């Protein structure tokens, strides 16, 4: 397990995450359907480059990855948003861009105000699922949460993920929709230890 991603590993992590999220309702909503696979890979590369690499990437080569933002670092500043915009427009398509940006902004407003680690993405390759890899990918940061008494937060649009995250102490704190025409989304919180 590695808590970083080198330049040489970047493309492999992107490909792995694109395989893991090929049927994900959020990414299906976000990406323009034409050339979906290309847009999904670009989305994962942009997420990794602009959001995760300033934070923490735990990955098991060929198996899976967890992309985290440490407390206080999940929100992008104006300069970071501007750097992300060309990728975001390519992912969504220009005509869908305003609605997709509005959906992202809506979800960001629902983040807990307390300091927390933010799990941006947890992806395990389809042929590796059900083998305990999620535990291996989540354990290092959840141990930091416990040590430093921080909460952990995530969103998922996949209802099948809810039992998995509950096993690690996350509970649903809100159910919403990304947008009126978007998928349902569950916001989950793992409280800090008492």
Give pLDDT tens digits for 34-47.
999 999 999 999 88
What is the DSSP-derived secondary structure letter of residue 160?
G
Note the pTM of the prediction, 2 decimals: 0.90
Cα gap 182→8, rounded to integer Å: 35
> Checking DSSP bridges between strand 184-190 and strand 171-177, what pairing results, if any?
antiparallel
Cα gap 52→83, rounded to integer Å: 14
Cα gap 154→120, rounded to integer Å: 7
Q: Please state which of the four CATH numbers 3.20.20.70, 1.20.59.20, 3.40.630.30, 3.40.1360.10 is assigned to the domain occupying 7-190.
A: 3.40.630.30
> Checking DSSP bridges between strand 116-124 and strand 151-156, what pairing results, if any?
parallel
CA gyration radius for the chain? 16
- pLDDT tens by residue, 95-130: 998 898 888 888 888 889 899 999 999 999 999 988
Cα gap 122→67, rounded to integer Å: 7
- Please, which pLDDT band fits residue 49 given cuts at 50, 70 and 90? confident
């Amino acid at each position: 397990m590695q808590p970083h991603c080198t330049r040489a590993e970047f493309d492999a992590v992107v490909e792995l995450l694109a395989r893991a999220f090929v049927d994900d309702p959020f990414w299906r909503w976000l990406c323009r359907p034409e050339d979906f696979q290309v847009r999904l890979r670009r989305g994962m590369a942009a997420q990794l480059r602009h959001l995760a690499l300033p934070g923490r990437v735990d990955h098991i080569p060929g198996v899976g990855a967890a992309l985290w933002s440490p407390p206080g670092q999940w929100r992008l500043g104006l300069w970071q948003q501007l750097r992300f915009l060309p990728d975001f427009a390519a992912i969504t398509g220009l005509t869908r861009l305003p609605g997709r940006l509005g959906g992202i902004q809506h979800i960001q407003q629902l983040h807990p105000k307390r300091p927390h680690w933010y799990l941006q993405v947890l992806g395990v390759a389809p042929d590796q699922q059900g083998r305990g890899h999620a535990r291996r990918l989540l354990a290092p940061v959840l141990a930091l949460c416990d040590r430093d008494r921080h909460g952990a937060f995530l969103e998922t649009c996949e209802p099948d993920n809810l039992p998995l995250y509950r096993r690690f102490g996350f509970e649903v704190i809100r159910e919403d929709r990304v947008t009126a025409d978007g998928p349902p989304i569950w916001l989950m919180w793992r409280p800090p230890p008492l």
